[in-house]
Amino acid sequence: MSLLTYQDARPWARAIKEKVAKREMPPWYIDKNIGITDFKDDPSLSDADIATITKWVDDGAPQGNPADMPPPRQFSDVDQWHIGKPDVVVSMKKPYILPAAGPDNIVDVLVDPGFTEDMYVMAVESKPADPRSFKVVHHFTTNLIEDQEDDPIGLFFNEYALGKNGDIFPPNSGRLIKAGSKINFNLHLNPRGEETPVTVQLGFKVFPKGVVPKYVAFTQHMGDSNELDIPAGQVVRHDGYFRLPQPALVASFQPHMHNRGKAMCMEAIYPDVRADSARPGPARTETLSCVSNYQFGWHITYPYADNVAPLLPAGTIVHITAWHDNTANNKYNPNPRNWVGYGQRSIDEMSFAWVTITYLDEADYQQRVQARQSQ
């Protein structure tokens, strides 16, 4: 459906009220009442916006005076990327032909984009290249292969899953792509009743030539819990942990679960201030973020605003808590009568967070802590 004009939107008035009042639309499921609340590119509505929309619907969704109406927003090619217009786009050279039926297909496609010079990436986004491909792509990952003989698997670079936006690294942080690197696309595809040519693409923005960012930013799994045990008809909690070997700046949080995912929180468990302290009682902990209404259809990366992005000392344990709802109350549950465990298919489950981080040295960390304190 289109919501561009009054005529388009009017028939949807009741549904619009319901979706915005429950904060199901626009898609943005971070809990606004827990932990950090400032994000880059936060499209969510304020309470006042929601009250305006609700009142408009309750008043019969009137058009008002057409002369007061702003012109409809014009969309351009740039709007097709969450990170803005990419400097470089790498696509599969030819489509992979996905059969009409059969099991999930997991396919590797290696592309040599012919990079002749080193580049530092400041923002990256992966997505299917056309509407037909969007329908069948469950998710895909991209790896950078610097030397095919030496390391054929390469380094993880970026992920796309249903509803995903892009990853924007913090200021002065980047990811090096060496000249000659190849890109491996690892595709997980679901046949959906018709033979489908699938193409996916990777877009990124780079630092100007000659500019070398001071920090390395990268995205990785944290808090994986692979021994999932989710009995039929129950809501179950699992926990996973990742210990930061160095001080770190956390740029973003993206929960990853499947259809039974209900909520996920990320907490910092701080190390003791002194190695020899015999401080009694529990460790100091702080909840950084929660997605309390997780939606499998929306794999959104929540990028922290720069002045509040978690700044964590070496030895902090990042604690990921996940809840899965395997009851009939979960309308996306494929089968509430089945036990579920870890697995790749959407009808199996997973539990981890994608976290984008930048490691800092101790002096840099202390300096940033002081700057924050004086803020």
Nearest distance, CB of residue 97 and ligand HEM, angstroms = 26
What are the angstrom distances between the C-alpha of 340 and each of 227, 257, 258, 295? 11, 12, 11, 18
Is the Cβ of residue 12 or residue 359 nearer to ligand HEM in the bound state?
12
Site for ligand HEM (CB under 6 A): which residue of 4, 11, 22, 26?
26
When asked if residue 20 is in the footprint of ligand HEM (CB under 6 A), the reply is yes
Residue 113 structure tokens:
């984009």
- Which amino acid is present at 241? Y
Site string for ligand HEM, 281-300 (x = CB under 6 A): ----------------x---
Are 141 and 158 spatial neighbours (Cβ–Cβ below 8 Å)?
yes
Site for ligand HEM (CB under 6 A): which residue of 6, 21, 27, 172?
27
Nearest distance, CB of residue 26 and ligand HEM, angstroms = 4
Q: Which strands, in side-by-side order, build the sheet including 261-269? A: 235-243, 317-325, 261-269, 285-291
When asked if residue 16 is in the footprint of ligand HEM (CB under 6 A), the reply is yes
DSSP 30: B
Is the Cβ of residue 26 or residue 343 nearer to ligand HEM in the bound state?
26
Nearest distance, CB of residue 43 and ligand HEM, angstroms = 6
Residues 296-355 contacting ligand HEM, CB under 6 A: 297
Site for ligand HEM (CB under 6 A): which residue of 21, 25, 308, 311?
25
Which one of 16-24, 153-161, 192-200, 344-352 is the stretch in contact with ligand HEM (CB under 6 A)? 16-24
Residue 193 structure tokens:
């009743």
What residues are paired with 356 via a beta bridge? 219, 252
Annotate 122-147 with DSSP letters as a single string.
EEEEEEESSHHHHHHEEEEEEEEES-
Is the Cβ of residue 56 or residue 359 nearer to ligand HEM in the bound state?
56
Alpha-carbon distance of 107 to 288, in angstroms, equals: 36
Site for ligand HEM (CB under 6 A): which residue of 4, 8, 10, 15?
15
Which uninterrupted H or E stretch holds 215? Answer: strand 215-222
Nearest distance, CB of residue 23 and ligand HEM, angstroms = 10
Nearest distance, CB of residue 325 and ligand HEM, angstroms = 17
Q: 269: exposed, middle or buried (C-beta count within 10 Å: 0-12, 13-18, 19+)?
A: middle
- Which amino acid is present at 266? M
Are 154 and 144 spatial neighbours (Cβ–Cβ below 8 Å)?
yes
- Which amino acid is present at 284? R
When asked if residue 4 is in the footprint of ligand HEM (CB under 6 A), the reply is no
Size of the site for ligand HEM (CB under 6 A): 10
Is the Cβ of residue 127 or residue 238 nearer to ligand HEM in the bound state?
127
DSSP 170: P
Alpha-carbon distance of 133 to 151, in angstroms, equals: 29
Nearest distance, CB of residue 45 and ligand HEM, angstroms = 6
Nearest distance, CB of residue 233 and ligand HEM, angstroms = 25
Is the Cβ of residue 119 or residue 137 nearer to ligand HEM in the bound state?
137
Site for ligand HEM (CB under 6 A): which residue of 12, 134, 241, 270?
12
DSSP 101: S
Which one of 23-31, 68-76, 134-142, 273-281 is the stretch in contact with ligand HEM (CB under 6 A)? 23-31
Q: Are strands 302-303 and 182-189 parallel, antiparallel or unpaired?
A: unpaired
Residues 28-67 contacting ligand HEM, CB under 6 A: 43
Are 237 and 349 spatial neighbours (Cβ–Cβ below 8 Å)?
no
Q: Applying CB under 6 A, which residues contact ligand HEM?
A: 12, 15-16, 19-20, 25-27, 43, 297
